[in-house]
Amino acid sequence: MILDPDIISEALTDAAAGWDIKVIGETKSTNTTLLDWGRRGAKGPVALFTEVQTQGRGRRGRTWHSVAGDSLIATLLIRPDAPPSQWGLVTLATGIALVDALIAAAPVRLKWPNDLFLDDKKLGGILVETQISSVDGFLVIGFGINLNQTTFDTEIEELAISLRQHTGQQVELNAIAAKAINALSQRLPESWNHPQRILDRFGELDTLHGAEVIAREREAGEEIQGIAQGIDGQGRLILRLNSGGFRALEDAWSIRKADIL
């Protein structure tokens, strides 16, 4: 296999030394697997990487597939030492950490709430799921990053990009995996211990700020248009509406720039 848990573990910093790194060659969904592990009592922090995912789940119920060596695909299981009421910035913190891992290679930016962007195209995505009971709770944080693709399917080739397409160089997955875990070990606790750091850094990486966007609520189908004004203290996107006034959007909304079909 391309991914090697020993190589990844050896490259972890002291702050990330407690992470349990696991690799499987193929799975239907790393998120589904770690949700099951968490319900069975796995404590974490654990990072599960896979080379092939056959039924990966994205937001809005989308499924996607992967080819070995093309993408870095992982899910984390953590049990934060903070109540669920303080978990609201975890998605943003995850995106920032992944940018930390990639920024030396390319000027990666973030599109609210859960996408990595490069050259105005999607480089990766994040899917956070929570499990909360009366006595305990945990988070599973899934992400996928396009690293070594040289082409994409016709229907997404104008929308997606890989790091290799940007740099022209093959990417070593184990190195990026270790950098990601090192960054995540710092950024995730910041999201509940020092939330302003996450809010400030997201503001620096926000690819939507000042852009005219179209927002669509996924369940009701309501659609609004306006100028993105950044995020508030709860991580909500603030939109200055074309119709007048402002609207704070939760992550139940899908967002696209108005000039992109």
pLDDT in tens, 146-198: 999 999 988 888 999 999 999 999 999 999 999 999 999 999 999 999 999 99
Nearest to 80 by CA among 35, 159, 140, 169: 140
Whether cis (ω within 30° of 0) applies to the bond prior to 107 is no
In the chain, which residues have pLDDT < 70? 56-66, 134, 260-261
| Domain boundaries 5-205, CATH class | alpha beta
Angstrom distances, CA of residue 154 to CA of 62, 157, 158, 159: 17, 5, 8, 10
Cα 31 to chain centroid distance, Å, stands at 12
Pairwise CA distance, residues 35 & 56, whole Å:
13
Say what the pLDDT of residue 67 is.
76
Angstrom distances, CA of residue 190 to CA of 91, 171, 212, 231: 12, 28, 30, 17
| Domain boundaries 212-257, CATH class | mainly beta
Say what the pLDDT of residue 23 is.
97
**Adjacent-strand bridge partners of 64:** 56
Say what the pLDDT of residue 220 is.
81
Say what the pLDDT of residue 173 is.
97
Say what the pLDDT of residue 219 is.
82
Dihedral sign computed on CA atoms, order 67, 2, 101, 79? positive
**CATH 2.30.30.100 domain range(s) in the chain:** 212-257
**CATH 3.30.930.10 domain range(s) in the chain:** 5-205
